[in-house]
């Protein structure tokens, strides 16, 4: 589906978004799909096809096979570097400019929201463009392209790893606290391109519901949120979000 196929956006939703003071958006891998970055479920191709994401994105997998995990992230980082933000990312930049209070909470580690121009971005699961030491946690800004894979920390000799949150690892506490707070206080909560499975991020739309927010899901497929959302816009982020923002804020075209 693309923007040539307009979807029906209820007038009630358009008015809610236009008049909302506090808007929160949660994004998942689906918003980056149209930038050519495979969603988390689809990322298991080629060399890694025989693994489930949960089997590779863990500290245990890294300790068991550091080269395999490092190479997977190197491949994904290159895909992210080569990718460009799409119309869905850009629509959220427009929305941030028009909503009085706006917070974008993302599960994605590809950095595309910041590259699109989004300013208030909460990265729940880190950022694949940053690299840190598995042992001392210090960030590594560059490393010798030594034959050793993964490269080593100049401070303590530990293995370098991507600065992302793996399964079984705690999220950056300030990030999750802020995400929970703003989700519970917002008037409109958009959940875009996420399978709504991985905790604790998946609880955010339900926190918004309990806070009385108008919860909207944007996804071509159904998720555990679909039956609870007030509005379900069935389609891709790159086609739905520009239409939604343009209808709510016509001047933002
Ligand atoms: C923690 C970074 C605890 C790394 C990621 C059993 C039950 C419940 C929970 C658990 C459990 N067992 C374990 C847990 C906890 C676990 C968890 O939730 N597991 C899942 C598998 C059940 N969670 C954790 O481990 C978290 N930590 O709980 O710590 C703790 C407490 C104290 C002390 C120690 C520990 C950490 C979770 C973070 C993991 N890291 N990413 C990396 O990227 O490599 S998760 C990763 O997968 C993503 O970041 C994202 O969050 C998640 C799911 O991916 P999605 O973004 O949703 O993408 P997905 O592919 O799944 O779906 C794409 C969606 O887009 C689909 O719906 C599709 O329809 C849609 N789509 C497709 N195209 C489009 C589109 N939408 C719009 N437009 C399109 N064009
Ligand atoms: Zn170190």
User: Ligand 1 in contact with 39 (CB < 6 A)?
Assistant: yes
Q: Give the nearest ligand 1 atom to 168 CA.
A: 25
Q: What is the pLDDT of residues 108-149, one digit of tens each?
A: 999 999 999 999 999 999 999 999 999 999 999 987 766 789
Give the closest residue (by CA) to ligand 1 atom 10. 199
pLDDT of residue 129: 97
Residue 93 pLDDT greater than 50, yes or no: yes
Q: Which of 125, 141, 155, 174 is catalytic?
A: 125
Mean pLDDT on 144-173: 92
Active site residue 89: no
Taking the centre of ligand 2 as the mean of its atom positions, its distance from the CA of residue 205, in whole angstroms, is: 37
Q: What is the pLDDT of residues 31-85, one digit of tens each?
A: 999 999 988 777 666 666 778 888 899 999 999 999 999 999 999 999 999 999 9
Q: What are the CB-based long-range contacts (under 8 Å, 24+) for 70-77? A: 70/149, 70/150, 70/159, 70/160, 70/161, 71/47, 71/149, 72/47, 72/48, 73/128, 73/161, 73/162, 73/164, 75/47, 76/37, 76/43, 76/128, 77/128, 77/129, 77/162
- Closest ligand to C-alpha of residue 224 is 1
């Amino acid at each position: 589906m693309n923007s040539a196929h307009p979807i029906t956006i209820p007038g009630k939703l358009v008015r809610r978004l236009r008049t909302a003071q506090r808007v929160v958006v949660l994004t998942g891998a689906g918003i980056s799909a149209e930038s050519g970055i495979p969603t988390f479920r689809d990322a298991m191709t080629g060399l890694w096809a025989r693994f489930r994401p949960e089997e590779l994105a863990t500290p245990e997998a890294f300790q068991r096979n550091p080269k395999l995990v490092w190479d997977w992230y190197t491949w994904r980082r290159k895909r992210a570097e080569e990718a460009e933000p799409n119309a869905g990312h850009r629509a959220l930049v427009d929305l941030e400019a028009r909503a009085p209070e706006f917070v974008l909470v993302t599960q994605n580690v590809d950095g595309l929201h910041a590259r699109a121009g989004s300013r208030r971005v909460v990265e729940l699961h880190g950022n694949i463009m940053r690299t840190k030491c598995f042992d001392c946690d210090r960030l590594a800004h560059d490393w010798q392209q030594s034959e050793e894979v993964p490269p080593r920390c100049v401070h303590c000799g530990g293995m370098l790893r991507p600065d992302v949150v793996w399964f079984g690892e705690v999220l950056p506490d300030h990030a999750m606290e802020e995400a929970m707070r703003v989700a519970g206080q917002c008037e409109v909560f958009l959940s875009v391109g996420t399978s709504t499975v991985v905790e604790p991020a998946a609880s955010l739309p339900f926190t918004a519901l309990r806070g009385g927010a108008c919860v909207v899901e944007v996804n071509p497929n159904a998720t555990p949120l679909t039956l609870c959302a007030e509005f379900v816009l069935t389609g891709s982020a790159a086609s739905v979000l520009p239409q939604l923002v343009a209808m709510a804020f016509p001047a933002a075209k």
